[in-house]
Amino acid sequence: MSPTPQEVIAVAVILPCFGTIAVALRFYTRSIYRAGLKSDDWTILIALVITWVLSVILIIGASIGSFGGHTAIDPNTGADVVTSKEQNAAKLIFSAYLIMTLLFGTIKLSVLLFYRRIFLGRIFNRCSIAICVLIVLWSLSFCLSVAFQCGTHIEYSWTPVLDVTKCDKDKIWELSFGITDVVTDLMVLAIPLPIIFKLHMSTLRKVGLCGIFSLGLFSTASAIVRLVEVVYNVYDTTTGYRDLIAVLTTVAVWSQVEAGIAVITACLPSIRPLFHRKSLESLVNSLRSAISLHSLTDSQHRPDRDNEPTHRDTAIILDKVGKGKSGNVYPTIDTEITGNCNSSDDVPAHTIYLQNGLGVKEERV
């Protein structure tokens, strides 16, 4: 059943509003803990702005009757009756797809940058950079492909099919975009899981952390619903008639749902300390837990450190970090060492890493 115009407007307004609240709380959390704004914060802010642009498209479509209705059937031929509403709907969905390719790519990139902010390790760094590059190329390539799917005749994208035979690849494009959107979502959500499962903590805590970083599955579920609608549209066996307005409305609404939920869930790990009254250091500390203090002490007293293999899996993070009068960071009495840092070229000997906000600072000991 196609959403009504009122439902379209409700989705277009409510979800971006909640997304705005989530991003505002994210920035507020960064401010009160003096963590500093990083690239992941700015990219999610850009994504929020683009989400509101998509919202405007939906509101315009619902207001002029191009979203939230149905395409009429010709009683004589059984074909769809293409009016100005259908053409306007095609124009709006063309604009929406241009927005979506950039929007979804920006959200995925923000999540990856957040991962890079809290996880360390050479293998992880290389994998995350590779996926970042993949996401950027994916977003730009689909943006260009939707813009020029009909060559230089962009107007063919919303011209009635009976009048145009030079542009008939829109359904294939929608299908490939939907599939790759889901696949890249799963790639982004899966990248921190191997690190979490290697942590030295109880299974229950591992499951809890996996749950926090898997909240994006709600957004992926919306993407799957949109993909199902596209598949039904592509392989619909009904000949001569396609409820164009209903199909485009459903695609646009579920795209807005995906974007809105994605922005919110991308902010939840960052604003978690605000509601649990825990420092950002504690959040990062729990994510980077790897080995016990005993293992750390043994590794620091190895006789021939220069001959050890160069490798860094995790960093040493000290919880409950305080500041002295001189402004230097030092661990308090409640300090807990929960990670290990093996010798490597980029981790000097006799150096530990202290967590300050969501940034890493080093102190000589």
Give the pLDDT confidence score for residue 253 in this predicted structure. 93
Least confident interval from 57-61, 86-90, 270-274: 270-274
DSSP H stretches of helix in the chain = 5-32, 39-63, 84-118, 122-147, 170-190, 193-197, 203-213, 217-234, 244-276, 280-287, 293-300
Share of the chain above pLDDT 90, in %: 32
Share of the chain above pLDDT 70, in %: 68
Give the pLDDT confidence score for residue 316 in this predicted structure. 31
- The contacts of residue 159 (CB under 8 Å, 6+ apart) are 87, 167
Q: How far apart are CA 169 and CA 18, in angstroms?
A: 36
**pLDDT over 80 at 46, yes or no:** yes
With contact defined as beta carbons under 8 Å apart, do 353 and 330 qualify? Answer: no
Nearest to 290, CA basis, from 207, 195, 171, 216? 195
H or E element that contains 331: strand 329-331
With contact defined as beta carbons under 8 Å apart, do 142 and 181 qualify? Answer: no
Which residues are registered as beta bridge partners of 329?
323
Mean per-residue pLDDT over the chain, rounded: 74
Q: How far apart are CA 273 and CA 283, in angstroms?
A: 7
The pLDDT tens digits for 65-95 are 999 888 888 788 777 777 888 888 888 988 9
Q: How far apart are CA 76 and CA 149, in angstroms?
A: 33
Q: For CA atoms 30, 34, 35, 38, give the dihedral sign.
A: positive
Give the pLDDT confidence score for residue 241 in this predicted structure. 65
Looking at residue 157, the DSSP 8-state letter turns out to be G
Domains of the chain: 5-277 (1.20.1070), 283-364 (no CATH)
The pLDDT of 342-358, averaged and rounded, is: 43
The pLDDT-based confidence of 270 (bands split at 50, 70, 90) is: confident
The pLDDT of 287-294, averaged and rounded, is: 40
Please give the model's pTM, rounded to 2 decimal places: 0.72
**pLDDT over 70 at 339, yes or no:** no
Half-sphere exposure of 149 (CA within 13 A, CB side): 23
Q: How far apart are CA 331 and CA 354, in angstroms?
A: 8
Read off the amino acid at residue 330. Answer: Y
The pLDDT of 179-184, averaged and rounded, is: 94
The pLDDT of 318-338, averaged and rounded, is: 36
Q: Give helix 39-63 / helix 84-118 axis angle, nearest 10°.
A: 170
Residue that wins the pLDDT comparison between 275 and 323: 275
